[in-house]
Every structure is written in C-alpha cells, then in structure tokens.
Amino acid sequence: MKAKSGDTVKVHYTGRLEDGTVFDSSHGREPLEFTVGEGQVIEGFEKAVVGMDVNESKTVDIPAGEAYGEYRDELLLEVDRGQFPSHIEPRIGQDLQIQEPGGVVFPVTVTRVTEGTVTLDANHPLAGKPLSFEIELVGVC
C-alpha cells in the first residue's frame, strides 16, 4: 500500500544536518504519526513519504526552503533591556517566548546581550539549513 495524500501514516526517521550531526530521531520511541497533505510536518518530509510502500526506507535531502524556511534577518528583534521582566536575566542561547499584541505567542532565542539591549531571534533553529532524513514507512492507516 503506497502512502498518498489524506492517508494517516506512521514513520520512523532520523534527521541530520549537512555535517552528519543527528538533530532528531524517532528511534527508541513511538513512530511519528501524521496525515499526509495536512501540513503537520515540513513540506519536504511530507513529499518524501508520498508514494512510499509500507516497510520501505529511503534517504532524502531537503533544501532549507522545503524544511524550516530560509533564515530571515527581519526576524531578529532588538529589544530594550528595560522591557524584560525583572526576574529574567537574559543570556545568549536562552530560549524564551514572546507575545504579539494580538495574543500570538512564539519562541525566540537570545543571540546578543548588551548593557541596553537584547537581540532575540524568532527564526526556527533549523531555518536556512538543508536537512537529510532517513525515513522508514512503518504503517498506513
């Protein structure tokens, strides 16, 4: 049975960066389950699963544009240090959440701290990076 749009599938995967570093894997836990065509996973991963047979494995290289998108400089935010709550001492690499005026909350990472400002990066940590996935289709529901 080949996976197609609308199918709920289960896959095991290992994701790697260009240098071979593993950034995520489903091995050792339950397989990832998602419905093909609903945008629940990155575009390139979803495309790779379409047409696979149960128990088939393959490796696919996904360009940044079909993964977590290109890195966008406009998602760097420089914030006055006085806007931080007094109980938060910002440090480089720290993951935080900020809320837009409309109530949407999104994750950011502190990338620079000066005496007067803090730079926050709202890009996904894997933005701008091509990825490689080893995928095994273990089930189609």
Task: State whether 53 and 17 are in the same domain.
Answer: yes
Positive or negative, the CA dihedral 66, 72, 74, 80 is positive
CA distance 81 to 17: 34
Residue 134 φ then ψ, to 5°: -95, 120
Q: What is the CATH number of the domain that holds 16?
A: 3.10.50.40
CA distance 36 to 53: 14
Domain span holding position 29: 8-69+126-140
Residue whose token pair is 């996976």: 3
The verdict on residue 26 lying in a domain is yes
CA distance 81 to 88: 10
Q: How many domains does the chain have?
A: 2
| Residuewise pLDDT in 10s, the chain (141 residues) | 899 999 999 999 999 999 999 999 999 999 999 999 999 999 999 999 999 999 999 999 999 999 999 999 999 999 999 988 889 899 999 999 988 888 999 899 999 999 999 999 999 999 999 999 999 999 998
